[in-house]
A and B are shown apart, each in its own frame.
Chain A
Amino acid sequence: MVMYSPEISRSDPVDKATLATLIFLGTEIMFFAGLISSFLILRAGTPNWPPPGQPRYPILITGFNTLFLLVSGATMFRAVKAAQGHRRKRWLLATFGFGTLFLGIQGVEWVKLVEYGMTFTSSIYGGLFYTLIGCHALHLVIALVILIFVIFRSGFGTKTHPLLSLCSLYWYFVVGIWPLLYTLVYLL
């Protein structure tokens, strides 16, 4: 990185990294909008939903799982707001725990669905499920990786870390998009 002489640098009215993250998340929202519209259009064009021989999406257990993810959003919020290091540490670890729990339950559900005969290629119904929910899971994995990085770099949350606020923005996005996916893919 290049350092310039102080007289030509100046303080920023808006935090650059936050702004950049928000712009990037705008693109992410459009990406999921594309996936969700594809889902709705393909679904509207399929006469039987779910197709014969395919299991229903697991509504109930995923409903509970949704709660876990929402809780992880709340704990992340508490972690960012926490004034003291040891509190931040507690909330960050809780966030990590709930995020991992969500991912684990999703994984168990996927294994069951595959056992019931729903795979990527068994039908459009299955393929769409794995693509949409898989894209979300992939985002959560990335969010978890960033979170682990922040946890380790900040002495388990005891020190402040500049990436934490960006990580939380990304986390809120991953949490925030989920109820939408749950409603449109599972419930509708």
Chain B
Amino acid sequence: MDHNGNTELRENSFWRKYLFSADHKTIGKQYLWLGLIMALVGGILAYFMRKQLAWPESETLTPNVYNAFVTMHGTIMVFFVAMPILLGCFGNFLIPLMIGADDMAFPRLNMLSFWTFFVGTLLLILSFFVPGGAAAAGWTGYAPLSAKPIYTGVNWGLNLWILSLALEFASVLMGGVNFMTTAITMRAEGMSWFRLPLMVWMQLSAAIIFMLSVGPTIAAAVLLLLDRLVGTGFFVPAQGGDPLLWQHLFWFFGHPEVYVVLLPGFGVLLEILPAGSRKPIFGYRIIIYSTLVAGVLSFIVWAHHMFVSGMNPNLSMPFSITTILISVPFAIVIFAMIATMWRGSIRLTTAMSFAIGTLMTFLMGGVTGIFNGSAAVDIFIHDTYFVVAHFHYTLFPATFFAAFAGIYFWFPKMFGRMLNETWGKVHFWLTFVGFNLVFLPMFRLGMAGHMRRLADPTQYNFLSTESIKSTQIFITWAAIGLLIGQAPFIVNFLRSIVAGEVAEENPWQANTLEWSTASPPPHGNFEVRPIVHHDPYNYSSPDADSDWLPQDQSLEEITT
């Protein structure tokens, strides 16, 4: 509201409503658009890398450009696709709705957060076009490769890379402060901690993990930038610096970051699976406790990325133990998800298909993580395609399968229209089959000793065999199929926004509060502030008439 009281005029202007909006729903959708567009960019980079790998003789990419593409593909997919969609979109859109609040605690800070993110994204895109090209030191920015421009030949590209990540971190910090303050202070009457939808718990855990882990990496980024711009040598051995220090500081954040992305993905599943199985969630509290334990453990596993880095080998055993330990809480959550579906009356919607697809693919990623986590095995498979396959089996399910599940599930709430289910199914099967055809063979490549980040594998004799070459070509065709498989989604998404079937308030007959208001919810979210009477997963309750019992409906209201 300005000093002249012109609230209504300004609220209704196009700019205020769609662009510089402080409404959490609009900001969530802005993050969604940004993430989806960046996913296309990341996918196109992947296509060029795959073309180069399958047909190195075509010289699609020079080794320098290949390095830049590898770096930017990783950076974009983790920081500019997974983060905006899973945290930016779902967190912003769902947290206030699910807790029955009218908006975030700090709506303007939220808007600032998005536009900071947006500028960071622009800088990252811009870095492709500066002299020397984009950053080429890997998405992990390992020093000393990243510490001096002469090592990669990239000067401003890498500076911009650091700058854009700094903006992204600042943005997520603002978002995280907002998420936590909102969830702590703005819950509706009756919304106790153990009635919170698990999505909110997961977003909250992710925010806490991010906030606690990102500080040291920002410190490392400051040191790195000083190395590059001022000429200090914190990470340069020739000047008395320590390159391993970068790896420690980076992975102290970098590994928890994996869970920052994964937990909101789990949150999506934990909402969709009970609604799609018409059963209460299995082990609500155990899931929360496991998540918190995993969150704590995530801070003491980072050095498993560094088994072959030259760090003290005595550290390998403790970090192997914590790494294998962290699979226990996650296994509990996975089992709880499977048990939730067990003997449910499953409604195999597109959202549900993607949710189950997430479980199946992530399981592969989790199990192969145990191989990487044991130092003895890791020394053999480190920096091979086995690792590439492993982390794509963990991050692809979280970033894409779970995100797609969430988009199909909450699209009606976001845009007031339904996505087409038939094309959704087509999209699911193309993605599911395509994904497995791309990444399953990579485990085999890795076992054969195929290193990562090679622009031209055929320069090694043992990687020039017919078997390896044909596998690479097969993977590339599968990747092209996977990319084309996204076309039904893009068309469906764009078409449904304008011409989809109009959605009702609660199309999936789910219980959480966002389904108790209009689709899309009005400004301020709820006509009357809801009062919460139940936990969020009251499906097939024998006391209720229908097989679902919304959180804001008391049993007396129904029976009388």
* B119 CB, nearest partner CB in chain A, Å: 20
B217-228: CB near A (< 8 Å → 1, else 0) gives 111101100100
In the complex, chain A residues whose CB is within 8 Å of the CB of B222? 35, 131, 135
Q: Is B150 an interface residue, CB under 8 A from the partner? A: no
* B252 CB, nearest partner CB in chain A, Å: 8
With contacts A34-B215, A38-B234 taken as known, whether A2 is within 8 angstroms of B528 at the C-beta atoms is no
Q: Is A108 an interface residue, CB under 8 A from the partner? A: no
B119-161: CB near A (< 8 Å → 1, else 0) gives 0000000000000000000000000000000000000000000
**Pairwise interchain contact B240-A124, C-beta atoms closer than 8 A:** yes
In the complex, chain A residues whose CB is within 8 Å of the CB of B252? 34
**Pairwise interchain contact A46-B214, C-beta atoms closer than 8 A:** no
In the complex, chain B residues whose CB is within 8 Å of the CB of A121? 230-233
**Pairwise interchain contact B232-A30, C-beta atoms closer than 8 A:** no
A123 to B117, CA, bound (A): 36
* B149 CB, nearest partner CB in chain A, Å: 16
In the complex, chain B residues whose CB is within 8 Å of the CB of A128? 234
With contacts A1-B22, A1-B108, A12-B186 taken as known, whether A127 is within 8 angstroms of B218 at the C-beta atoms is no
Counting chain B CB atoms within 10 Å of each CB, the highest count among A20, A27, A34 belongs to A34
| Stretch of A3-11, A109-117, A166-174 at the chain-chain interface | A3-11
Q: Is B192 an interface residue, CB under 8 A from the partner? A: no
Cβ-closest 8 pairs across A and B: A30-B215, A34-B216, A34-B219, A31-B215, A127-B232, A8-B529, A35-B219, A121-B231
**Pairwise interchain contact B234-A41, C-beta atoms closer than 8 A:** no
A38 to B231, CA, bound (A): 17
With contacts A42-B234, A128-B234, A131-B222 taken as known, whether A28 is within 8 angstroms of B215 at the C-beta atoms is yes
**Pairwise interchain contact B232-A9, C-beta atoms closer than 8 A:** no
**Pairwise interchain contact A31-B218, C-beta atoms closer than 8 A:** yes
Q: Is A107 an interface residue, CB under 8 A from the partner? A: no
Instruction: Kindly identify, within residues 22 to 49 of chain A, every residue whose CB is under 8 Å from any CB belonging to chain B.
Output: 23-24, 26-35, 37-38, 41-42, 45-46
B89-104: CB near A (< 8 Å → 1, else 0) gives 0000000000000110
| Stretch of B172-180, B322-330, B541-549 at the chain-chain interface | B172-180
In the complex, chain A residues whose CB is within 8 Å of the CB of B108? 1
Number of interface residues of B (CB under 8 A): 52
Instruction: Kindly identify, within residues 199 to 239 of chain B, every residue whose CB is under 8 Å from any CB belonging to chain A.
Output: 211-220, 222-223, 226, 230-234, 239
B contacts, CB < 8 Å to A: 1, 7, 11, 22-23, 102-103, 105-108, 173, 176-178, 180-181, 184-186, 189, 211-220, 222-223, 226, 230-234, 239-242, 245, 248-249, 252, 523-524, 526, 528-529
**Pairwise interchain contact A13-B219, C-beta atoms closer than 8 A:** no
- Measured CB to CB, the nearest residue on chain A to B529 is A8
A9 to B181, CA, bound (A): 16
In the complex, chain B residues whose CB is within 8 Å of the CB of A42? 234, 240-242, 245
Q: Is A149 an interface residue, CB under 8 A from the partner? A: no
* B521 CB, nearest partner CB in chain A, Å: 12
- Looking at the complex, which one of B7, B216, B230 makes contact with A120 (CB distance below 8 Å)? B230
Counting chain B CB atoms within 10 Å of each CB, the highest count among A20, A24, A29 belongs to A20
- Looking at the complex, which one of B189, B212, B242 makes contact with A26 (CB distance below 8 Å)? B212
**Pairwise interchain contact A2-B181, C-beta atoms closer than 8 A:** no
In the complex, chain A residues whose CB is within 8 Å of the CB of B220? 34, 38
- Measured CB to CB, the nearest residue on chain A to B212 is A30
In the complex, chain A residues whose CB is within 8 Å of the CB of B212? 26-27, 30
Counting chain A CB atoms within 10 Å of each CB, the highest count among B23, B212, B232 belongs to B232
A8 to B523, CA, bound (A): 12
A5 to B240, CA, bound (A): 62
In the complex, chain B residues whose CB is within 8 Å of the CB of A135? 222
**Pairwise interchain contact A33-B523, C-beta atoms closer than 8 A:** no
In the complex, chain A residues whose CB is within 8 Å of the CB of B103? 2, 4
**Pairwise interchain contact B218-A23, C-beta atoms closer than 8 A:** no
In the complex, chain A residues whose CB is within 8 Å of the CB of B231? 120-121
**Pairwise interchain contact B245-A38, C-beta atoms closer than 8 A:** yes
In the complex, chain B residues whose CB is within 8 Å of the CB of A30? 211-216
Number of interface residues of A (CB under 8 A): 42
Q: Is A14 an interface residue, CB under 8 A from the partner? A: yes
A36 to B189, CA, bound (A): 44
| Contacts beyond the supplied A1-B108, A33-B216, A121-B231: 12 A-B pairs with Cβ under 8 Å | A2-B103, A8-B528, A14-B185, A26-B211, A32-B219, A34-B217, A35-B219, A37-B216, A124-B232, A124-B239, A128-B234, A131-B222
In the complex, chain A residues whose CB is within 8 Å of the CB of B239? 124
In the complex, chain A residues whose CB is within 8 Å of the CB of B245? 38, 41-42
The contact sample of 24 A-B pairs, CB cut-off 8 A, is A1-B1, A2-B7, A3-B1, A3-B7, A4-B102, A7-B528, A8-B102, A8-B524, A10-B189, A16-B105, A20-B106, A20-B177, A20-B178, A23-B177, A23-B181, A31-B216, A32-B219, A34-B216, A38-B219, A42-B242, A46-B240, A121-B230, A124-B240, A124-B241
- Measured CB to CB, the nearest residue on chain B to A12 is B185
A14 to B489, CA, bound (A): 43
**Pairwise interchain contact B232-A19, C-beta atoms closer than 8 A:** no
In the complex, chain B residues whose CB is within 8 Å of the CB of A35? 219, 222
- Looking at the complex, which one of B213, B223, B528 makes contact with A38 (CB distance below 8 Å)? B223
- Measured CB to CB, the nearest residue on chain B to A19 is B181
A35 to B220, CA, bound (A): 8
With contacts A1-B22, A135-B222 taken as known, whether A10 is within 8 angstroms of B240 at the C-beta atoms is no
**Pairwise interchain contact B529-A10, C-beta atoms closer than 8 A:** yes
**Pairwise interchain contact A27-B106, C-beta atoms closer than 8 A:** no
In the complex, chain A residues whose CB is within 8 Å of the CB of B232? 120-121, 124, 127, 131
A30 to B212, CA, bound (A): 6
A41 to B219, CA, bound (A): 14
In the complex, chain A residues whose CB is within 8 Å of the CB of B177? 20, 23-24
* A35 CB, nearest partner CB in chain B, Å: 5
In the complex, chain A residues whose CB is within 8 Å of the CB of B240? 42, 45-46, 51, 123-124
With contacts A1-B108, A2-B107, A46-B240 taken as known, whether A127 is within 8 angstroms of B234 at the C-beta atoms is yes
A75-93: CB near B (< 8 Å → 1, else 0) gives 0000000000000000000
**Pairwise interchain contact B185-A16, C-beta atoms closer than 8 A:** yes
**Pairwise interchain contact B219-A23, C-beta atoms closer than 8 A:** no
A3 to B8, CA, bound (A): 10
Counting chain B CB atoms within 10 Å of each CB, the highest count among A8, A33, A45, A120 belongs to A8
A177 to B320, CA, bound (A): 34
* A9 CB, nearest partner CB in chain B, Å: 7
* A114 CB, nearest partner CB in chain B, Å: 14
- Looking at the complex, which one of A32, A51, A131 makes contact with B223 (CB distance below 8 Å)? A131
A120 to B212, CA, bound (A): 29
In the complex, chain B residues whose CB is within 8 Å of the CB of A5? 524
* B219 CB, nearest partner CB in chain A, Å: 3
